[in-house]
Chain A
């Protein structure tokens, strides 16, 4: 494989995303009144960003861990625990929104540190260490209210705006009533969760590409032993990687709670696997060292486009599971095949 092929590899995730997006565009049923595509409308695309925001934030944290050749299975449970802690602080503790957010993030940080310490200090394999946290965090989520859920209401408006649209947020800040207008503006569909997802993506991509910490992440994933011998602070950075992943899971939990206006101890079950799937579709290797945040975001959006178009087309839930499995495999293999085919045709001419 030449360097040209290596370079092209970086565009695989974007290629897969473009492919799925194009299919969705063509396969979209027409608007029943105007006949235009209902998939590619600003509203639907903004809705899609909101729908993927939680998994997206989880997947960004997971990308860091996987780049370092680890894995974090606990993020779904941590999301549940942090969501419960935030709601508990707001409702049972009657604390303010910033305290609840801090509580949710701190919960994420605590479980992230737990993962990091198990991996770094006790030298437990990441799969096993985070499997333990997966159970522990779920236990905490269920203990907080003895398995019951916690509902929020408008008196917690300051917290709820984290899950809302820009217009609702603006209305809350100016403390105006939100009028029910038929004419929907884009600010009705552009949401805070989507904005947080995109910002976290940009920041993480910058940190990975431009800072020493970022380069160390790749080095650890490439070869931890060589990195250690080269004098890189492997242990400290690993701890930091798991802590960041934990905080991001905590953040996703806060957003989850605000979006649903409720925390339920079973929230986030299975989310870790969806995040890992997004990372894999983005082309980040589970053996570490290769991949990146933009690839993961492409993976997240690919899954989002897919579930949106399948939903809009009313494909049965059971069939959806099977189709997503096929896409997962194709996403990992198809770009490679297309490029090979293209190279062969080039050579023949």
Chain B
């Protein structure tokens, strides 16, 4: 029996040493900041995490730790609870959904820990700072660019994100408001492409079949605009029209690169607030002045400036 115990304890001890090794190497920073991300598998959120990491690396005082809820609100509640257990000094959270996260965020806030909420809001006022961008404004910027570029006349196809999701609604509304006064701009076809490149390709094939002339495709994100481009290219009609996307993500697969490559005519930045979140967190922790609600501005990304967005690390 004692031998059982010894074998067992040896196993426990060796595993424990293995698990706790990284702990010994962690440097002690002044502030521990928990970043609760709702879904790491979205490219836009990866860009947000990367921007936050890059910004945090510039400051000695701050240690940033991440959690990923993989689009599960229940998991995100547990993630925030784990941060509480770790006694973080500040919480940055991009909530998966407002309602289910409100209670746990309030718990953090009521415990005297500042909370920076990103992108999607929570209910009530139990947070220190909100940073986000306005999708209606972005849709409007796209609509205005389109009206100007087409000289107020043309046939447009609109490829929408997931129906019932707020960004889809806002990106569509802003765009339609902006083009409403141009009588000669006509939306000849609209379809739900669910934010996906392959779905957009299929949907745009239908649009191509139904319309022998299309001047412009407005897609609610870059992957859908690229999907439409692929469909048009397969039909030999990609020169006939312009492709407009939203997001302007960095990287080889991102929308900014697609503008450089000439696939998209333009894309509009949906700012990811990662950098601003860390900046604001530091201001709060150092008791400096900060704005309670920060709305980030979009940017028009064309061939001239796309390189800055495709590779933000190089941008000065």
* A98 is an interface residue with CB less than 8 A from chain B: no
List chain A residues, Cβ under 8 A from B308: none
Instruction: For A29, give its contact among B11, B23, B112 (CB under 8 Å).
Output: B23
**Residues in B1-32 with C-beta less than 8 Å from chain A:** 3-4, 7-8, 11-13, 15-16, 19-20, 22-23, 32
**Interface residue count for A (Cβ, 8 Å)?**
50
**Alpha-carbon separation in the docked complex, A22 to B20 (Å):** 12
Partner of B100, one of A19, A33, A180, A260: A260
- Of A19, A51, A314, the contact of B78 (CB 8 Å cutoff): A51
Which residue in chain A gives the minimum CB-CB distance to B22? A313
B206 CB–A CB distance under 8 Å = no
Q: Which residues of B contact A22 (CB under 8 A)?
A: 12, 16
Q: Given A147-B164, A264-B97, A314-B65 in contact, is the A345-B20 Cβ separation under 8 Å?
A: no
Which residues of chain B are near A155, meaning CB under 8 Å? none
User: Is A209 close to B, CB under 8 A?
Assistant: no
> B163 → chain A, closest Cβ, in Å?
8
- Of chain A, the residue at the smallest CB distance from B39 is A317
Measured in the bound complex, the distance between the Cα atoms of B3 and A309 in whole Å is: 28
Chain B residues in 8 Å Cβ range of A29: 23, 86
Q: Which of B8, B20, B70, B79 contacts A26 (CB 8 A)?
A: B20
Instruction: Say yes or no: B79 contacts A311, CB within 8 Å.
Output: yes
Chain B contacts of A31 at CB under 8 A? 87
Chain B CB within 8 A of A211 CB: no
- A47/B7 in contact, CB under 8 A: no
Chain A contact residues: helix, strand, loop or mixed:
helix
In residues 52-82 of chain B, which contact A (Cβ within 8 Å)? Answer: 65-68, 70, 73-74, 77-79, 81-82
The main secondary structure of chain B at its interface with chain A is: helix
Identify the closest chain A residue to B35 (Cβ): A314
Q: How far is the CA of A264 from the CA of B165 in the complex (A)?
A: 13
Question: How many residue pairs at the A-B interface have CB separations less than 8 Å?
Answer: 106
Is A342 in contact with chain B by the CB < 8 A criterion? yes
Q: Which residues of B contact A15 (CB under 8 A)?
A: 8
Q: Which residues of A contact B8 (CB under 8 A)?
A: 15, 19, 338
- Residues of chain B within 8 A (CB-CB) of A39 are 85
CB distance A19 to B12 under 8 Å?
Answer: yes
Number of B positions contacting A (CB below 8 A): 39
CA distance A32 to B16 in the complex (A): 20
With A27-B19, A44-B85: A262-B97 Cβ-Cβ less than 8 Å: yes
Selected from A26, A262, A334, the residue in CB contact (under 8 A) with B19 is A26
1/0 per residue, CB under 8 A from B, across A26-54: the answer is: 11010111000011010110010001001
Restricting to A142-160, which residues have a CB under 8 Å from any CB of B? 146-149, 151-152
Cβ contact within 8 Å between A38 and B85? yes
CA A261 to CA B99, docked complex, whole Å: 7
In contact, B77 and A26 (Cβ under 8 angstroms): no
In the complex, the answer to whether B19 meets A23 with C-beta atoms within 8 Å is: yes
Residue A133 interfacial (CB < 8 Å)? no
Query: Are A43 and B85 in contact, CB atoms less than 8 angstroms apart?
Result: yes
Of the candidates A47, A152, A314, A338, which one forms a contact with B4 in the assembled complex, judged by CB atoms under 8 Å apart? A338
Is B128 interfacial (CB 8 A cutoff)?
A: no
Cβ of A175 within 8 Å of any chain B Cβ, yes or no, is no
A312 within 8 A of B: yes
Asked if B169 is an interface residue, CB under 8 A from chain A, the answer is no
B302 at the A/B interface (Cβ < 8 Å)?
no
Return chain B residues, CB-CB under 8 Å to A313: 19, 22-23
Instruction: Identify which of B11, B19, B70 gathers the most chain A CB atoms within 10 Å of its CB.
Output: B19
Task: Name the residue of chain A whose CB is nearest to the CB of B69.
Answer: A317
Q: CB-nearest residue of chain B relative to A341?
A: B7
Q: How far is the CB of A67 from chain B (nearest CB, A)?
A: 27
Is B110 close to A, CB under 8 A? Answer: yes
- Does A3 belong to the interface (CB within 8 Å)? no
Render B95-131 as a binary contact track against A, CB cut-off 8 A, 1 for contact. Answer: 0010110110000001110000000000000000000
- Picked from B70, B87, B112, B164, the residue with its CB within 8 Å of the CB of A148 is B164
Is B40 located at the chain interface by the 8 A CB criterion? yes
Inter-subunit contact A262/B99 (CB<8 Å)? yes
Do residues A345 and B77 form an inter-chain contact, with CB atoms below 8 A?
no
- With beta carbons under 8 angstroms apart, the residue of A23, A316, A346 that contacts B16 is A23
CB of B32 within 8 A of CB of A32, answer yes
Give A194 Cβ to nearest chain B Cβ, in Å.
13
B interface list, Cβ under 8 A from A = 3-4, 7-8, 11-13, 15-16, 19-20, 22-23, 32, 40, 65-68, 70, 73-74, 77-79, 81-82, 85-87, 97, 99-100, 102-103, 110-112, 164
User: Given contacts A260-B73, A313-B19, could you give 20 more A-B pairs where the C-beta distance is less than 8 Å?
Assistant: A19-B12, A26-B19, A27-B23, A32-B32, A38-B85, A147-B164, A259-B100, A260-B74, A261-B100, A261-B103, A262-B100, A264-B73, A264-B97, A312-B85, A314-B67, A318-B40, A334-B11, A338-B4, A345-B3, A346-B3
Q: Could you list 7 examples of A-B contacts with CB < 8 Å? A: A26-B13, A149-B97, A260-B73, A261-B100, A261-B102, A267-B74, A341-B7
Closest 3 CB pairs of A and B: A26-B16, A260-B100, A317-B68
